[in-house]
Structure 1
Amino acid sequence: MCIQTSRNEKRTLTLSALSALLFAVAGLVIGLLVDSLVIVFDGAYSLVSLVLTLLSLAAARFIAAPSCDRFTFGRAIFEPAVIAIKGAVILLVVGYSLYAAVEALLTGGREVDASVATAFGVVNVLGCIAVWALIAAQSKRQHSGLLDAEADQWQMDTMLSVAVTAGFVVAWLMTQSSLAAYAVYADPVMMLLISLYFIKVPLNMLTSALREIFLMAPSEEIRERIDQSVLEAGKDSDQEIELAGVAKVGRELWVDVDIYPDDSDVIRVKDIEKTRETIQKRLAKLPLELQINVNIAS
């Protein structure tokens, strides 16, 4: 990663951390004042996001450091490790919120000042959209796994805020109608629906990160690109070339290729370099740092 990209990544993560702190404090204070389970969850989620963003910021600094005696293959593995931690923590938060919503439904619901909650929700939605859009734009420009995960967090927070605000509007309308007695169930029902919907986001973060940690095969699109590059390298070579292994680890793509020489052939250094260059050119458009190893197979 170049120095400028690393700086932009750190700057974006710092902005995310400060924004998460602001939303966390506001959500917790307003949620406790109006006794809303959903708003307290929103604030708690922002607080967890803050801690996780600080973790991502520390990881970004650590990953950008050069290889050393302790990490001879670099620090790319720390990116999926951090994303896995983030996914697991968010999954725990969503799981607890699901439990709290069910408990509130079974105990008669929760009465909430819908007018104050709605006003807070509108402000919260606008703020979340602004931060999410900024981080998502930076993520597309820099192709950073950490910023992708950060954008996912803010997307989740934005959609949560939209759902909460819409729910409070409905709750306020209920209080003005013959359904006023059921308005106390609006808050836990919103929390229940939101938890069930959003649980897939941390699950996807966790599973994709674990795939990288355990060096499992990357996405089908990447595998097809690699297969085509190896086929092209085989056409340009007198030896048989075979893909031995491939894994995406953080922002790095590891590709291992075997060359099988004929009994009469002697593989020269330029043959190995030609194979590596052909694969490198075919994969150059991928937004990943390539690590290509060409091995002589017996």
Structure 2
Amino acid sequence: MCARTTYNEKRVLTLSALFASLFAGGGLVIGLLVGSLVIMFDGVYSLVSLLLTLLSLATSRYIMKPSDERFPFGRAVLEPAVIAVKGAVILLVVGYSLYSAIGAMFTGGREVDASIATAFGAINVIGCGFAWWYMAALNKRRTSGLIDAEVKQWQMDAMLSVAVTAGFVIAWGISLTPLAPYAVYADPMMMLAMSFYFIKVPFQMLTSALREIFLMAPSKEICQTVDQSVFDAGKESDQEIELAGVTKVGRELWVDVDIYPDSSEMILLEDIEQTRETIKKRLAKLPLKLQITVNIAT
């Protein structure tokens, strides 16, 4: 990965850590003051996001070190490993919040000061929305798996803040009607709804990262692009060329190609290099570091 991408990654992760620390502190304090499960979940989620962002920042720096005896094939696998940890931890946070919400529903609900909660929610919507937009814009310039995970975290936080604010506005409206006794169930009901909705994102993060860790096939789009590049290389070569395997590991794309020589010909080093360069040229548009291995099949 180039130096500019590395700088962009560190910049985004550092900003994310600063934003997360602010929202974590505010969410925990306000949540405890007003007794809201949802706001406390928002604060805990931001605190977890902060810790995970610091982990991503440390990993981002460590990945750039060259291969050595401990990591003879590089450190690219650390990126999906960190993303898997993020997904698993967020799943745990959402699961615990779901458990707390169910408990509150069966113990009479939770009374919340809707005015303070609504004001805090509105501030969170603006702050989290800005963080999500800003980091997504930076990620478009230089794509990174770690930054993409950060963008998804802030997307969840922004949507959570919108749901919290809307829920408290509804709860405040209910408190002004004959249904006021039921307003205490608004907070745990919001937590239930959001838990079921948000569980999808960390689950996708976890499964996607595990696919990379276990060297499974990448997305259909990447596979099609690699297939086409190998097909083009075969048309430019006198030898039969076949794609042996392809997988994405973090920011790297590993491509294995087999060359089947004609029994009456000898494959020259130039043929192998030409095949590698042709495939590399065709895949240059992908925002990934290419690791192309050309094997002579027998």
Alignment TM class, shorter chain as reference = over 0.9
Deviation readout 1:96-149 (Å, 9 max, x if unpaired): 111111110011100000001000000011000111111111111111000000
TM, length-normalised to structure 1? 0.99
Counting only pairs closer than 5 Å after superposition, residues 146-165 of structure 1 correspond to structure 2 as: 146-165=146-165
Task: Quote the offset at 1:27 in angstroms.
Answer: 0.3
For 2:287 and 2:58, the matched residues in 1 are separated by 22
- Partner residue, 1:233: 233
Counting only pairs closer than 5 Å after superposition, residues 178-257 of structure 1 correspond to structure 2 as: 178-257=178-257
Deviation readout 1:172-229 (Å, 9 max, x if unpaired): 0001111101100000000000000000000000000000000000000000011111
For 2:7 and 2:248, the matched residues in 1 are separated by 23
- Partner residue, 2:135: 135
- Partner residue, 2:101: 101
For 2:240 and 2:122, the matched residues in 1 are separated by 63
Task: Quote the offset at 1:236 in angstroms.
Answer: 1.2
Identity across the alignment (%)? 73
Counting only pairs closer than 5 Å after superposition, residues 8-23 of structure 1 correspond to structure 2 as: 8-23=8-23
The root-mean-square deviation of aligned C-alpha atoms, in Å, is: 0.7
Task: Quote the offset at 1:4 in angstroms.
Answer: 2.5
For 1:70 and 1:182, the matched residues in 2 are separated by 60
Structure 1 window deviating more from structure 2 (230-239 vs 79-88): it is 230-239
Deviation readout 1:70-113 (Å, 9 max, x if unpaired): 21211110000000000000000000111111110011100000
Query: Gaps (5+ residues) in structure 1?
Result: none
For 1:151 and 1:258, the matched residues in 2 are separated by 38
For 1:69 and 1:242, the matched residues in 2 are separated by 32
Task: Quote the offset at 1:69 in angstroms.
Answer: 2.5
For 2:229 and 2:2, the matched residues in 1 are separated by 26
For 1:260 and 1:159, the matched residues in 2 are separated by 53
For 2:252 and 2:140, the matched residues in 1 are separated by 16
Task: Quote the offset at 1:68 in angstroms.
Answer: 2.1
- Partner residue, 1:297: 297
Task: Quote the offset at 1:261 in angstroms.
Answer: 0.6
- Partner residue, 2:264: 264
- Partner residue, 1:91: 91
Aligned pairs, how many?
298
- Counterpart of 1:36, as a letter, is S
- Partner residue, 1:112: 112
Off by >6 Å, runs of 4+ in structure 1: none
- Counterpart of 1:143, as a letter, is T
Q: Secondary structure at the match of 1:294?
A: strand
Deviation readout 1:152-189 (Å, 9 max, x if unpaired): 00000000000000000000000111110110000000
Counting only pairs closer than 5 Å after superposition, residues 30-109 of structure 1 correspond to structure 2 as: 30-109=30-109
Q: Secondary structure at the match of 1:111?
A: coil
For 2:96 and 2:8, the matched residues in 1 are separated by 35
Deviation readout 1:278-298 (Å, 9 max, x if unpaired): 111111111111111100011
For 1:186 and 1:279, the matched residues in 2 are separated by 57
For 2:28 and 2:143, the matched residues in 1 are separated by 33
- Partner residue, 2:169: 169
